[in-house]
A and B are shown apart, each in its own frame.
Chain A
Amino acid sequence: MAAAHVSTEKVLLDAEAISRTLSRIAHELIEANPELDRLALVGIHTRGVPLAHRLRRLIAERSDEEVELGSLDITFYRDDVQVRGGEAPLHAQPLVRATTLDFPLEGMTCVLVDDVLYTGRTIRAAIEALFDYGRPERVQLACLVDRGHRELPIRPDYVGKNLPTSRGERIQVQLLEVDEVDRVLLVPTPEEEEEPLG
């Protein structure tokens, strides 16, 4: 798929920029949460998970504190489940992955970590999923890229980069852990290719 767009895709952030951005978010997290033992980073599958891992490592390097870490799969909480009516799905439902939250959420500040913030529907689903596991004291949101076009009243607490886009474009975050390269791309999306939740 990526190969077809080689001529038109544009690199918005390279590995260096991603690493600097994450460092800054880690600093902001430490600054905003003096009690790091009550901070938990919860990555949203797929790319939020490695991002949460990296942020945790960066926080540990700067503060000697290992914060709690979890991962969240929101498949069963999506609001675009296709039902009846004969319409074929626009895209296959994503693979269901493990949700791991091995610590009690009570009294914690849970920071949801995702790569791209778009419509806000993923975050809505993630908040709902999170609350089925417990009652965190506070929920915050960190994302690497905010591309705008919100459809819900959701805003991030920690933003890597604001990248205003048109709906016809697509922001593609690639991470070493998943894609073997660190970069953020702007890809023009063909009309019919609708983006799942965002």
Chain B
Amino acid sequence: MAELKVMREEFLPPKPPPRRHLLSIADLTRDDVERLLGTARSFERSLEREMKKLPTLRGRLVLNLFFESSTRTSSSFELAAKRLSADTMSFKASGSSVDKGESLKDTAITLGAYDPDVIVIRHAEIGAPQLVARWTGAHVVNAGDGKHQHPTQALLDLYTLNEEFGRIDGLHVAIVGDVLHSRVARSNIQALTMMGARVTLVGPPSLIPRGIEALGCETTIDIEAIKAADVVYVLRMQRERMLEGANYVPSLREYAARWGVTPERLRPGQKVMHPGPMNRGVEIDPVVADAADALIETQVRAGLVTRMAVLYDLLTHGPVAVQTAAEIHEVA
């Protein structure tokens, strides 16, 4: 009879380490975030030069799969890849075989056959990026899945805050509006609390999910509460995600009257952020949107360098390590 042997772990061939993806802020540690922000800052400096392109990711392929409309995210991912000398392919659902009924799986497998190094995906369904990560051999970046997560938005917001205030720890951020349908809010609450900021959610009770305090934030329905914050983060009213016939708010006009961010509701000098696209006159007053204290344009610029940092970090495997004294001795 054959001898029964239990294979011991160390005799097995080493398993390849898991491919790294960025699917959710929960994938990151505080160290990861600090490293990404540091890398983003060095990319920002490289963009001040006359020659703005870096050769770092030459020959890599970044595939942008956008099943939902996007201006900022898709354009900044595309430019980020190009600034790092990677090739890009952008794919939008409309005008493709998705119109003919091709499934997410078939689309992912078809485009995966080109052997992309990174797939950036936005999809209306929660979990679509996880599925694509399973079906293809690429590193996957979630560029927004339904109302679940939008991690690169949270990273660029952290970058914006850090550049503006020089710190994130101890900042008080009021997130105002449609938290219920907002992936930006979910990613931002996780990211901000992880980095030591205090988060207060403000909005009508119907748009603040019950139990969200479990993420470590406070909630209130009183718009006056935003005055106490260092930064007011205004969310978009996501009418396209609201269920047919559901009355979350009586009307947009009433929402604007009660929760719209207007100059009178802000302290002078208070910073305002918005992930875009804005509904001017609904969640944000045009005067506030165009004021000098609005960091909205800064956020867009931060989006480029932060996404360069994410692509660099995923593809170089080796995170840009924080050097210890011992390591400095080894550099030579």
Contacts and interface: CB of A to CB of B under 8 A. Distances in A.
B117 A92 contact: no
B321 A133 contact: no
Interface centre among B17, B54, B137, B317 (most CB of A within 10 A): B317
B318 A92 contact: yes
A187 to B, nearest CB: 9
B318 A93 contact: yes
* Main SS at interface, chain B: loop
Given A76-B56, A83-B315, A133-B51, A92 B332 contact: no
Interface stretch (B106-114, B286-294, B323-331): B323-331
Contacts of B95: none
Interface string A92-128: 1111111100000000000000011000000000001
B317 A132 contact: no
A44 to B, nearest CB: 11
A96 B42 contact: yes
Contacts of B56: 76-77, 81
Given A94-B321, A95-B323, A83 B332 contact: no
A82 interface: yes
B50 interface: yes
A6 interface: no
Given A76-B55, A77-B54, A81-B56, A172 B329 contact: yes
A77 B58 CA distance: 10
Interface string B284-321: 00000000000000000000000000001001111111
Given A77-B56, A178-B328, A93 B316 contact: yes
Contact of A83 (B46, B54, B117): B117
Contacts of A81: 56-57, 315-316
Interface residues of A, number: 40
Q: Please indicate which of the listed interface residues B45, B137, B312, B331 has the most CB atoms of chain A within 10 Å of its own CB.
A: B331
Nearest to B139: A84
A185 B318 CA distance: 28
Contact of A86 (B16, B42, B319, B330): B16
Given A83-B60, A86-B16, A128-B55, A93 B46 contact: no
A46 B328 contact: yes
Contacts of A85: 16
A91 B318 contact: yes
A181 to B, nearest CB: 11
B105 interface: no
A92 B19 CA distance: 17
Contacts of A21: none
B38 interface: yes
A133 B50 CA distance: 7
A140 interface: no
Given A83-B315, A88-B317, A173 B17 contact: no
Contacts of B316: 81-83, 89, 93
Contacts of B323: 94-95
17 contacts: A1-B326, A46-B331, A76-B42, A76-B54, A76-B56, A76-B84, A77-B56, A84-B19, A84-B139, A87-B317, A88-B17, A89-B316, A94-B321, A116-B332, A134-B50, A172-B329, A173-B332
Interface of A: 1-2, 46-47, 73, 75-77, 81-89, 91-99, 115-116, 128, 132-134, 170-174, 178-179, 196
Given A92-B319, A92-B321, A133-B49, 12 more contacts: A1-B330, A46-B331, A75-B42, A76-B42, A76-B46, A76-B312, A86-B17, A93-B318, A96-B38, A96-B320, A98-B42, A132-B53
